[in-house]
C-alpha cells in the first residue's frame, strides 16, 4: 500500500469523526424503523464524499480506489446501509461516467459525483441472478429511443435513486445481446414494487423496478450495443471491492462491541476476556478482519495500477463477507444472551452480514470467478 498523504489522513479523520458523530447514533433506529437515511447521504455529498474516486474534471476528488474504500469501511463501521449506499452509488456512477457519450457524461457527471443524484444498478431479475446473462428485460430500438419492457429485481435504492444503470437485452445472443442504458428515474413507464421485507439492511431500500414501454433516448446507450454484460461485470469488479470494504467495516464494528463486552463483563470474578476461550475468539476475529482489509486494499492497489484485478476483487468480496459473517456470529456468542437481544447491536450486525454474502455475486459465484481465473477457462464471466 502507498502511504497516505496528509490530505488522505485528514480525509479519514473527517470521515471517522462524522461517522461517529452522525451515523452511529442513527443506525439502530433507522434500521428498526426501515427509514432510508437520504439526509445523511446528502451530508456525505456536501462533504465531497460521494465522488471520491472520480476525476476532478468530472467533479470528483481523484482519489485512489483504496482511499475511497477505506472511507466506505469507516461509514459501514458506523452504519452499514450508508456505506452500502455509497458503494452502490459509486458502482452505478462508474458505469455511466466511463461509458456514456461525452455530451451525456458532461451533463450528468457533476450531479452524480456531488451526490445530488443518487444512482442504482439493475442487473438481476426475478428469474436471473447468478446466471446474469439469462436476463430478459428487452429494449427495442424505435427511432431515436429504446422502448424497454421487463422487470429488474433486488435493486438497491429503487424508488429513491435519481438514475438507474440498466442492463437489458437488445439482441437474442446470450452474452453479446446485452446492452447498458442510463435511465433517469423520472422516465415515464418506470414503476416500483413494494419494498422487499428483509432480514436486515432494512434502511436500505430494495425493490423491483418495472419497465412498461419506457422510452429511453438512444443517446443514453452506454458503450455500444451488445457490450452491456462486459460493462456490468467490470463494474462489479469494482463494486465488489465496495462490498468487501462494507464487510470489513461491519466486522470491525462487531469486534469492537465484543471486545468492550469481554473487558467489562465479569464472571467467576474476572473479565470474561481473561478466559482463553473468549480471548482467543477475539484474536481470531481481529486476525481475519486484518487479513480481509489487506486483501481489499491489495486488490484496490492492482486496480489503481491498471493491473488485472478481477480474481482478487472476487477473493476480497468472498473473504471479507465470509469474515463478516463469522465475526458477527462470534460477537453474538461473546455477548451471550445480551448478544441475542435487540437492545445490543450485534444481533443486527449478524443479520446484516448475511446480506453481504449474497449481494453483487453470491460467494459461490466469487469462487467460480476465482477458480476460472486459476484454470483459465473463460474470463470469469458468470454464466458465459
Partner 1 sequence: MRIICPVKRVPDTAAAKVLRPEDHTLDRDAGEAVLNANDEWAIEEAMRVKERDGAEVVALCVGPQQAQTTVRKALSYGLDAAIQVTDPALHGSDAAAVARVLAGALAAEDFDLVLMGNQSSDARTMLVPAMLAEFLDLPALTYAKRLDIDGRTLTVHRESSGGHVVVRADMPAVVSVVEAINEPRYPSFKGIMAAKRKPLDTRDLAAVGVGADEVGLAHSWTRVVDVSPRPTRQAGETVTDDGSGTVGAVALADFLSARKFI
Selected range binding partner 1 among 13-21, 139-147, 184-192, 264-272, rule: CB under 8 A: 13-21
**Residue 259 within binding range of partner 1, rule CB under 8 A:** no
Looking at 5-13, 33-41, 184-192, 256-264, which segment touches partner 1 (CB under 8 A)?
Answer: 5-13
Contact 242, 66 (CB under 8 A): no
Q: Is 10 in the site for partner 1 (CB under 8 A)?
A: yes
25 near partner 1 (CB under 8 A): no
Rounded distance, CA 259 to CA 278, Å?
10
| Smallest separation, CB 227 to partner 1 (Å) | 33
Helix (H) / strand (E) containing 212: strand 206-217
Q: Which of 27, 40, 41, 52 binds partner 1 (CB under 8 A)?
A: 52
Residue 47, C-alpha cell as written in the block: 462533504
Which of 11/58 has CB closer to partner 1?
A: 11
SS3 sequence of 318-331 = HHHHHHHHHHHHHH
Task: Quote the CA–CA distance of 20 and 47 in Å, as a whole number.
Answer: 15
- Helix/strand/coil for 183: strand
Q: Rank residues 113 and 206 by Cβ distance to partner 1 and give the closer one.
A: 113
134 in contact with partner 1 (CB under 8 A): no
Binding residue for partner 1, selected from 20, 25, 32, 46, defined by CB under 8 A: 46
CB of 7 to partner 1, least distance (A): 5
Tell which one of 24, 28, 43, 294 touches partner 1 (CB under 8 A).
Answer: 43
Q: Which of 1, 2, 17, 284 binds partner 1 (CB under 8 A)?
A: 17
67-101 residues labelled b (16+ CB within 10 A) or e (exposed) = bbbbbbbbbbbbbbbbbbbbbbbbbbbbbbbbbbe
Nearest to 380 by CA among 314, 323, 316, 325: 314
Kindly give, in sequence order, each residue whose CB lies less than 8 Å from that of residue 184, ignoring residues fewer than 6 positions away.
Answer: 162, 163
Q: Using the rule CB under 8 A, give the single segment among 14-22, 156-164, 207-215, 247-255 that binds partner 1.
A: 14-22
Residue 11 in the binding site for partner 1 (CB under 8 A):
yes
> Is 360 considered catalytic here?
yes
Q: How many residues in the shown chain lie near partner 1 by CB under 8 A?
A: 16
CA nearest to 113, candidates 84, 95, 93: 93
Assigned C-alpha cell, 161: 435513486
Cβ-based burial of 115 (10 A; exposed 0-12, middle 13-18, buried ≥19): buried
Q: Kind and range of the H or E element at 206?
A: strand 206-217
Show the cell assigned to 268.
467467576
- Position among 23, 40, 41, 49 found at the interface with partner 1 (CB under 8 A): 49
- The b/e string for 248-280 (b: 16+ C-beta within 10 A; e otherwise) is bbbbbbbbebbbebbeebeeeeeebbeeeebee
Q: Is there a contact between 164 and 183 (Cβ–Cβ < 8 Å)?
A: yes
Binding mask 57-96 for partner 1 (x = CB under 8 A): ----x-----------------------------------
Catalytic residue, from 31, 125, 160, 360: name it: 360
The minimum distance between CB 71 and partner 1, in angstroms, equals: 9
Stretch of 16-24, 126-134, 216-224, 252-260 contacting partner 1, by CB under 8 A? 16-24
Nearer to partner 1, 67 or 369 (CB): 67
* Shortest spacing between CB 10 and partner 1, in angstroms: 5
Could you tell me the smallest distance in angstroms from the CB atom of residue 23 to partner 1? 11
Q: Which is nearer to partner 1, 62 or 378 (CB)?
A: 62
Comparing CB distances to partner 1, the nearer of 50 and 382 is 50
39 is a site residue for partner 1 (CB under 8 A): no
The β-bridge relationship of strands 266-267 and 221-222 is unpaired
Residue ranges in contact with partner 1 by CB under 8 A: 6-7, 10-11, 14, 17-18, 21-22, 43, 46-49, 52, 61
Catalytic residues, which ones?
360
Amino acid at each position: 500500500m502507498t502511504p497516505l498523504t496528509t490530505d488522505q489522513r485528514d480525509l479519514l479523520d473527517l470521515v471517522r469523526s462524522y461517522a461517529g458523530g452522525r451515523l452511529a447514533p442513527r443506525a439502530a433506529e433507522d434500521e428498526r424503523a426501515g427509514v432510508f437515511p437520504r439526509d445523511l447521504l446528502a451530508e456525505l455529498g456536501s462533504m465531497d464524499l460521494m465522488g471520491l474516486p472520480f476525476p476532478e474534471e468530472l467533479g470528483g476528488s481523484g482519489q485512489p480506489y483504496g482511499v475511497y474504500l477505506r472511507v466506505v469501511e469507516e461509514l459501514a463501521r458506523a452504519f452499514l446501509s450508508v456505506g452500502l449506499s455509497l458503494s452502490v452509488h459509486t458502482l452505478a456512477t462508474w458505469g455511466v461516467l466511463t461509458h456514456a457519450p461525452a455530451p451525456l457524461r458532461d451533463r450528468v457527471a457533476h450531479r452524480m459525483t456531488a451526490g445530488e443524484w443518487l444512482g442504482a444498478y439493475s442487473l438481476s431479475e426475478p428469474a436471473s441472478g447468478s446466471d446474469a446473462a439469462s436476463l430478459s428485460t428487452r429494449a427495442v430500438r424505435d427511432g431515436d429511443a429504446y422502448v424497454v419492457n421487463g422487470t429488474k429485481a433486488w435493486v438497491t435504492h429503487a424508488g429513491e435513486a435519481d438514475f438507474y444503470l440498466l442492463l437489458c437485452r437488445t439482441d437474442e445472443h446470450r452474452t453479446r445481446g446485452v446492452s447498458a442504458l442510463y435511465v433517469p428515474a423520472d422516465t415515464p413507464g418506470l414503476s416500483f414494487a413494494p419494498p422487499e421485507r428483509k432480514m436486515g439492511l432494512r434502511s436500505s431500500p430494495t425493490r423491483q423496478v418495472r419497465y412498461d414501454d419506457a422510452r429511453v433516448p438512444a443517446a443514453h446507450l452506454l458503450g455500444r450495443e451488445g457490450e452491456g454484460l462486459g460493462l456490468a461485470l467490470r463494474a462489479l469488479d469494482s463494486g465488489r471491492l465496495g462490498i468487501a470494504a462494507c464487510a470489513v467495516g461491519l466486522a470491525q464494528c462487531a469486534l469492537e462491541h465484543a471486545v468492550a463486552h469481554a473487558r467489562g463483563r465479569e464472571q467467576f470474578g474476572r473479565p470474561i476476556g481473561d478466559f482463553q476461550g473468549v480471548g482467543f475468539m477475539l484474536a481470531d476475529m481481529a486476525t481475519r478482519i486484518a487479513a480481509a482489509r489487506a486483501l481489499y486494499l491489495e486488490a484496490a492497489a492492482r486496480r489503481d495500477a491498471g493491473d488485472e484485478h478481477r480474481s482478487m476483487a472476487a477473493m476480497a468480496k468472498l473473504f471479507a463477507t465470509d469474515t463478516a459473517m463469522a465475526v458477527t456470529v462470534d460477537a453474538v456468542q461473546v455477548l451471550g444472551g445480551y448478544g441475542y437481544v435487540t437492545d445490543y447491536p450485534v444481533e443486527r450486525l449478524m443479520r446484516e452480514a448475511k446480506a453481504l454474502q449474497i449481494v453483487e455475486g453470491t460467494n459461490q459465484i466469487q469462487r467460480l470467478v476465482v477458480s476460472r481465473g486459476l484454470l483459465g477457462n473463460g474470463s470469469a464471466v458468470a454464466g458465459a
